[in-house]
Each structure stands twice: as C-alpha cells, then as structure tokens.
Amino acid sequence: MASEEPLFDPSLKKRKKKAVAFTEYPLGAEADPTAPAPETIDNTTTTGEAVDLGPSTAHEQMKRNGEEGGKTEDDDFKAMFGDMKKKKKKKEIPMDLADGDSGASTPVAGASAPAITEDLDFSDIKKKKKKSKKAALDMEAFEKELSESKSKPAADEEDEGEPEHNPNLDIDDADLENDPFAQPSDVPVGVDLGNEPWLSSDRDYAYPELLTRFYSLLHAANPALLSSSSQKRYTIAPPSIHREGNKRSVFANVTDICKKMHRQPEHVIQFLFSEMGTTGSVDGAGRLVIKGRFQQKQVENVLRRYIVEYVACKTCKSMDTLLTKENRIFFMSCESCGSRRSVNAIKSGFQAQVGKRSKNRPA
Amino acid sequence: MSVQNLNSVDPFAEEELLGGTQDVGSGADYIHIRIQQRNGRKTLTTVQGLAKQYDLKKILKAFKKEFACNGTIHDDEKLGEVIQLQGDQRSKILDFLVENDVDRSTIKMHGF
C-alpha cells in the first residue's frame, strides 16, 4: 500500500493542476477526514469543509448587516449575467486583475475584517470566471471514477494526499510565491497585532467579532478558499432582445433560457409579463413578442429576479431545481440538497389603464 | 341560546375586511410598486397595497409635491385603492416609504 501512494499522488497532482477547477475538492476530503498531515494545514482543510458552505451564508450575513436585504439578494445573482457581459466584450484583463487583487488583498485583509469581506466577494466573482462549468463537471466525474475504481484504503490515502497539496495549488492560483508552510504561521501574527478590540479592554469578545476574525485568518492563510468556497458558477445565455417595429420587442431565445433553467416557458413568460406590466405572445418560431420597448438589460433584470424567486434553491443556492404543480400550488424541489418548498404564485397585480379607452371598451 | 362558538368573531366577516388590501394567499400584505409603459418613453408607476391606516390622499399629495409629477388614486374592486403616478417614480417611492418608517421588507418593487 505504501508503495502505491507515491504512484498515485503525483499523477493526481498533475491532473488536478491541469484541470483548474477543484471546487469539488473539499467535498472529497469531507468523506474521510483522516489526516496525519501537519496541524496547520489540517485545520484549514477540515474547517474547509465547513467553510465550503460557510462563506456563502456567513459572509452574506455580514454583508447584510451593512446593506439592505433586497439588495444583497440581487447582488448574488448579478454575477450571473455580469459574466456574460464580460464574455461578450472578450476582455481578458479582468481575470489577470482578479489574480492581482486576491494576491494583493490578502495581506491587507489581515488588517481589517470588513475590508476582507469586500475583497472576498470581489475576487470571488472574478475568480469564478476561471472555471468553466464543464471543467467542474469533468472533475466530478473524474473523482467519482477514481473513488469507484480504487479500493477504500486507496481512497483514504487520496484524501490524505489532497489536503497537503491544497495550499500549493492555492498559491499557484493566487500567484503567490511563498512557502506554503510559512504562510499560516506568518499571517496569524499579522492579524493578532493589536487589532482585536477586546485586547485593550476588559470586555468579552462578541461572537461576530470572533467570526470575522476566523474568516480573516482563514482566508489570509489560504487565499484560494475564496474561489473554491463558492460553488461553480451558474451561467445562462443573456436574453437576446431586438425591436420589432416601433412598439414591440422580441425576446428570441426564451425557449433556450427556459430549457437551461428547467422551467416551463409559460411560467417564465407569465412572470415576465406580470413583472413588466405588459402583454405579448409567442410567435411561430418560438420567440416571445413583448408589447413595449424593452432593452436587454431590463429583461435581464427581470430574469434575474425570476431565478432568485423560482430557480435558485433557497437552502443551498443550487440552480438544480424542479418546479412541479400540485393542487394549484407550485412546489420547487432541489435536486442537489433535496429540500422542497412552495413558491409564490405569479400574480399580475394592478394593471392601470394604458392607451385609448375606446379600444378597451367592448362592442 | 348562547353557544360559545357562535359568539366568537365571524371569520368570514374578517376575510372581507382584509381581502381588499391583501393579496390573499401570499400571506404578507406587501406594498407593490409597479411600472407600466405607455406610449413613447412615458411610464406609469402604481403603488398597490398601502395599509388602510394611512390616508392615501395625503400620501398622494406628498408624492406629487416631492416627485413633481401628477398622480391619482384609482379605486380597484379587488385590489383596493391604488396610487398612480406619472413617470418612473419607483425608486423615489421606495426611498420615500422607507424614510417614513415603512418596513423595507414589506415593499416589493417590480418592473425592469
């Protein structure tokens, strides 16, 4: 067995490095948290599994403290289409920037906790771009294959090996050239340097303070958690809107987008109409003709809200959900976490009288 | 003659009272701020579901003065009284309401 280890590990390393995504990584480690690795690294990985889900909730909570609830929800999903825009422009620069940012932000981040959360989200969004969804999926499949083909003890060693190489990969990602083992020891000192408010006073430390401290330490110690902590990006093609005549807009790829979201086009269209306060119809080619002038950005906003409301799982944020109708009530069940909840029915609400009254009058 | 059960509040009566302002079924009585397109680049903003305790006339007056637009109160059979304002005043209305101590979480802004 011991002779096999070195055989496996190098190959693993190499392959993983090539496939950039290692989002599923901590999950793999989660299965068997037996690690004889040095303590510092061990901490990061074992906490890594908690953090893996953690930042998406805890950081948002922190953010929410400062901001209004509604805004942050939007922010989460702004990334989806924001990605598209970048792709359309074919700008590669932001990616490089992201690397520089995360590299630069980490030392600063140690100093102040609020700063880190901001930096975090920033680099989060940008870094996520790196991974294509496909790559992530491939990784999943690859890991499954690995675990299936190997006997259990072999799998154990695999997990033991991964945590050790995590920091290495992280640093490659973040373009830092420090010794991985030096980092964890360095950073806590920087963070501890008299910044904690409770050090000077007699009072007890509050939970939020400790929580921010924990995250700042954690992210300072391994910057790549910032990117790997968030789930793989959910991207859909931006809606293609063009004007038909003077008063109508055509939403050409409704069906594609609906297919991507696993939703009935009727449901999506109903939502669009009720939100935008208009009417319209689907033409022969499956395009949606909307009454009124709408720009792509506007439709995008509405779609984003649709996704927040009817596609994203509220529990795990996965987009892998199904919408079913039972007894006139729509239920959304999540494919990845299994949660199930009812969603609001789409109501059009008040529609003011627009246009000529004589047209509306019957007969 | 006096059966306890019958003396309690008549559930149906209450339903009628509430039915006007509330979207029945959604649970919470949200204030909906919507927008509608008119001809050209003109728009119309509607505020639906303001609580009965407020005097809509006074609110409308404040809106009109603050946003420098015209407006009216439309009495809808199902949805109660709805304020209509000229132009896209959604964000202004939201700010106004929040400033005047309406809970942000009860306001829903619709539209593009």
- Asked if A302's CB is within 8 angstroms of B76's CB, the reply is no
> Mean pLDDT over all residues of chain A?
62
Chain B CB contacts of A277 under 8 Å are: 34-37, 110-111
Output the pTM of the full model: 0.52
B89–chain A Cβ distance below 8 A for any pair: no
B92–chain A Cβ distance below 8 A for any pair: no
- Spell out which chain A residues touch chain B, with contact meaning CB-CB distance below 8 angstroms: 68-70, 247, 274-278, 292-294, 298-299, 301-302, 344-345, 347, 349-352, 354-355
Q: Number of residue pairs across A and B with CB atoms under 8 Å?
A: 63
Q: What is the pLDDT of residues B62-103, one digit of tens each?
A: 999 999 999 999 988 888 889 999 999 999 999 999 998 888
Q: Does domain B29-109 match CATH 2.40.160.20? A: no
- ipTM value greater than 0.90: no
Chain A CB contacts of B35 under 8 Å are: 277
Answer yes or no: are the C-beta atoms of A342 and A329 closer than 8 Å: yes
| Domain extents in chain B | 29-109
Rg of chain A over Cα atoms, rounded to whole angstroms, equals 24
- Asked if A351's CB is within 8 angstroms of B36's CB, the reply is yes
Answer yes or no: are the C-beta atoms of B96 and B106 closer than 8 Å: no
Q: What is the pLDDT of residues A298-352, one digit of tens each?
A: 899 899 999 988 998 888 888 888 888 888 889 999 888 888 888 888 888 888 8
Check whether A82 has a pLDDT greater than 60. Answer: no
Q: What is the pLDDT of residues A191-247, one digit of tens each?
A: 555 567 777 777 788 888 888 888 888 888 877 666 544 556 778 888 899 998 988
Average pLDDT of span B7-29: 53
CA distance A215 to chain B (A): 29
